[in-house]
Homo-oligomer: A and B are copies of this chain.
Amino acid sequence: MQRIDEQIRFAAEAGLLKGVLRQTMLTRPARRENSAEHSWHLGIMALALAEYAPADTDLGRVIAMLLVHDLVEIDAGDLFVYADEEQQAQQRTAERAAADRIFALLPGGQAASLRGLWDEFEERATHEARFARALDRLQPMLANLEAGGGTWREHGVTADQVLAKARLIEDGSKTLGSYARELVRQAVRRGILAPAAR
């Protein structure tokens, strides 16, 4: 196969992400969100919220990471953020196998470079990865607020649990972390998020 045929084949395979449904319920249109449009939305958020990234953050790298971060779900599916530890461990194994297969569709050097973006996102060791992860955590919170509760209501999630997950937002951006905590307080006041498990 020619180099360009491999690249086009990778792009076609990537397109399958449009068929992977997430837990997130959209309001308009009222349906579950797929992981491709979710990834796009994170890219838009990166552009709109760039100024809240730490100084010297390479925004192009953040966005590239966001574009590829969910490709592994083509094989591994999407796991709900509140799944238990055993499910999460299984998911990590499945996602690594998926990354091995999917990025390897590209020619060698390029496969390593895009796989590197995925690894970086997972490892959360750089400013870029932490900011990308913060956006990935913030977006479903915004969707739940818009939906008047969304997956929080559906799965009986409480404010404590949301705040625990929101630590990753703080870790990527102080401002977005504070903003997220304020959103949780609002949601509790509005009665669309239970304060704590009883």
Q: Which residues of A contact B (CB under 8 A)?
A: 4, 7-8, 10-12, 14-19, 26, 28-29, 33-34, 36-37, 39-41, 43-45, 47-49, 52, 59-60, 63-64, 67-68, 106, 110, 114, 142-143, 146, 175, 179
Q: How far is the CB of A25 from chain B (nearest CB, A)?
A: 12
Taking a contact as CB atoms under 8 Å apart, the answer to whether A48 and B175 are in contact is no
25 A-B pairs whose Cβ atoms sit less than 8 Å apart in the complex: A4-B179, A8-B49, A11-B41, A11-B44, A11-B142, A14-B41, A14-B44, A15-B41, A15-B143, A17-B37, A17-B40, A18-B29, A18-B33, A19-B26, A19-B29, A34-B37, A36-B36, A37-B40, A39-B40, A40-B40, A44-B68, A47-B64, A60-B60, A60-B63, A63-B67
Contacts of A8 in B (CB 8 A): 48-49, 142, 179
Give this chain's copy count.
Answer: 2
Known A-B contacts A48-B10, A48-B106, A67-B43; A26 and B15 likewise in contact (beta carbons under 8 Å): yes
Bound-state CA distance A59–B113 (Å) is 15
The interface centre, meaning the residue of A14, A37, A40, A44 with most chain B CB atoms within 10 A of its CB, is: A40
Q: How far is the CA of A52 from the CA of B2 in the complex (A)?
A: 14
Give CA–CA (A49, B9) in the complex, Å: 11
Closest chain B CB from A121 CB (angstroms): 14
Closest to A110 in B: B48
| A142 neighbours in B (Cβ, 8 Å) | 8, 11-12
Residues of B within 8 A of A52 (CB): 4
Q: Which B residues are in CB contact (< 8 Å) with A4?
A: 49, 52, 175, 179
- Determine if A43 and B44 form an interchain contact, defined as CB atoms under 8 angstroms apart: no
A63 to B60, CA, bound (A): 8
* Cβ–Cβ contact A47 & B114, under 8 A: yes
Contact A48 B7 (CB under 8 A): yes
Listed residue (A18, A43, A44, A68) with the most chain B CB atoms within 10 angstroms of its CB? A44
